[in-house]
Structure 1
């Protein structure tokens, strides 16, 4: 069943093999060029899991799941076998793929999760609008704290509940297991003039300093 206001998708009778309370969605119209009317999507528990707002490209693909009170909106998407459950909020262009999982009160805003990455507890994975830095989680990493900006967390890295890793620079921070490294931004090592070069024809002879006699 779908609400009268939901003209974006419907919940079908196709149940999940392992979790029969989940059902696949079907697009009722073309969505942002990638999804066509009639296309089958991933699984939801109810319409409370996926935005039906006009113009919102949020979608659940493949065998991905949004369950419980989890919510996907604002052009975010779930792909592969990704799972958003509990009260997780996946928003603002975030992409979850692989076997990644967002649970509890995790909040993703403009983030990317893949592999077996986990966002749990009160984790916050947040894009930095000033530096345009996007957090990327992959491997078997687990995040319970806050990650913001151009940060790549991979391998077996763990961010604890009270730990905050913020990057407000133009470099990339890489956390992998117990190691931490930096990838310098393009052009960061090159010196540039403070002002634009002045044409020789317009160069003025500097005035002499001191008292003339």
Structure 2
């Protein structure tokens, strides 16, 4: 049965938009295409998203936030901060690597959309930095880390950019990339440790 305006939800529109983007790419995908995929008028789509730009922004936000729940869960754990930081960085790398490898066409499409929606990207990065800061702040409180949490969160994020910035996506399937990631994280953890603090390698 075709959906009606009563059963049409923002989530269904976003799902259909993602499929339309996968088929047509960001340059050719239109609101009319989305409406046709849902079996509704384009006016019904506009009742949920007032403009094409708003729809593209929302679907970009949804795509960026897909892994955030798992990352937030890792950040909130009551566990060893070093292990938590390593797990968080690993989960971020794995999520990005899966997006690029499992559906390269859609990944390329959303790489274009993130360029259009800098505010959405900035908020996404701010959320990730907040989670990193939470882990590092707990590490300082436990005497494991010895640096300013907010400043260090930005430094850790930038230092691991090769493993989550889409610019480097071509490298993520290369043999040896996991060992290179582990080496970077090991180096970061050694630099973060408080003098005389506990060490996972000692």
Answer whether TM exceeds 0.5 for this pair: no
Tell me which structure has the larger Cα radius of gyration. 1
Higher relative contact order (CA 8 A, sep 6+): 2
Question: TM-score by structure 2 length?
Answer: 0.25
Name the structure where strand makes up a greater proportion of residues.
1
